[in-house]
Structure 1
Amino acid sequence: MNSVQLNENEYAPFYSSYIESLGEVNLFDVLNTSLKDLVSTLENLPEEKLIYSYAEGKWTIKELVQHIIDAERVLSYRALRFSRNDATNLPGFDEDWYVNNSNGNTRNFKDLLKEFINIRNASISLFNSFTPEMMFLTGSANNSDMTVRALGFIIAGHQMHHLKIIKEKYL
């Protein structure tokens, strides 16, 4: 499954930049390579870099990684629900509220990276479990329709978006 096969009606416009930034990629390739890229970029950073914020009100690297974890959980849960033909309109989530209540800055960073690896591997397993027909099923989150397969690309694009910000503004 390739990202350029997605139609714009398979996801909310809010997510288009995440998907478009991927270029032409296979879902499972990008989920695996983006996992490795994040871990290899961040695994040996000193603590002072991990709790640095480049501007007032901006998240630290620890908070960004916690946010990536939280968002991936939410998006994977949506994919699971949609793949099971669940017609419930799922609520959105306030990412700032989640970060402010995550205690990300007090967590051990190796534990955060391990959790990210576990979550990503669980997401890969989840998407591997979907039949081709399930990938095209649609559900609604925050009053926007999305397909299961679009959610997989959104997961990868979201993480890569934040890693790009980390590389540009924090490192």
Structure 2
Amino acid sequence: MPTDIFRPGDDEFAPYYAGYIDQAARTMAARGLSHVVQLLEAQRTECETLLGTVPEERAAYRYAPGKWTLAESLVHVIDTERVFAYRLLRIARGDSTPLPGFEQDDWVPASRAGQRTLASIARELGAVRTATLELVKSLDAEALAQRGVASGKGVSARALVWMMAGHLAHHLTLTREQYLSS
């Protein structure tokens, strides 16, 4: 495992992703974590614990009209982590081919999340995060410093690690505050 995956500089990611980078940093600080890999690991356990307590009928809950269901939101998290991990793999391996974006709002209906159980979604989320962790832990400083293009914007491998941690931190907060609080 790399000794440290430093917070990426502002030139390592598109401005849109600054919120995820900041969310990862805030979450790490609040938990007293010094390494983003610690956050990635803690989130896997946190998801398992949190989702293990949610009744199955809650999967179809929308906290407001037009918002995704809980199941859709969680499958979106899985899809996004897979896309970010694929980008991480390609960029860390020195592949300079520009990588396409994806339209999350088009992917959600196609995910058929409403036909799945929360237990199935939770298992998949854990499996995807486990795979992500193994990839991240395999990367050295040189691989993490690699840069590429995704969605038409420059991004470093290091930034993608932080973006994954921040994206899940954002959705865990959303899940607690919007989907499970009422």
The TM-score normalised by the length of structure 1 is: 0.95
Length, aligned pairs only: 170
Distance 1:84 1:46 in 2: 41
Provide the residue aligned with 1:128 in structure 2: 137
2:96 pairs with one of 87, 92, 95: 87
Distance 2:104 2:132 in 1: 20
Provide the residue aligned with 2:119 in structure 1: 110
Q: Check if 1:26 corresponds to 2:26.
A: no
1:123, distance to aligned residue in structure 2 (A): 0.4
Amino acid at match of 1:51: A
Distance 2:14 2:59 in 1: 32
Q: Deviations over 1:23-76 (max 9, x none)?
A: 254121010111111221121211222210011111111111100100000000
Provide the residue aligned with 1:145 in structure 2: 154
Distance 1:60 1:38 in 2: 17
1:148-163 correspondence runs (5 A): 148-163=157-172
Unaligned residue ranges in structure 1 (runs of 5+): none
Amino acid at match of 1:69: I
SS of residue matched to 1:70 = helix
Distance 1:6 1:82 in 2: 15
Distance 1:109 1:166 in 2: 13
1:2, distance to aligned residue in structure 2 (A): 4.6
Distance 1:130 1:163 in 2: 26
SS of residue matched to 1:6 = coil
Which deviates further from its counterpart, 15-24 or 135-144? 15-24
The RMSD of aligned alpha carbons is 1.2
1:50-69 correspondence runs (5 A): 50-69=59-78
Provide the residue aligned with 1:10 in structure 2: 12
1:48 pairs with one of 52, 57, 81: 57
SS of residue matched to 2:143 = helix
SS of residue matched to 1:89 = coil
Q: Deviations over 1:74-129 (max 9, x none)?
A: 00000000011111111100001111100011112211111111100100001111
Unaligned residue ranges in structure 2 (runs of 5+): none
Distance 2:58 2:161 in 1: 30
Amino acid at match of 1:10: E
**TM superposition outliers: structure 1 runs of 4+ over 3 Å:** none
SS of residue matched to 1:58 = coil
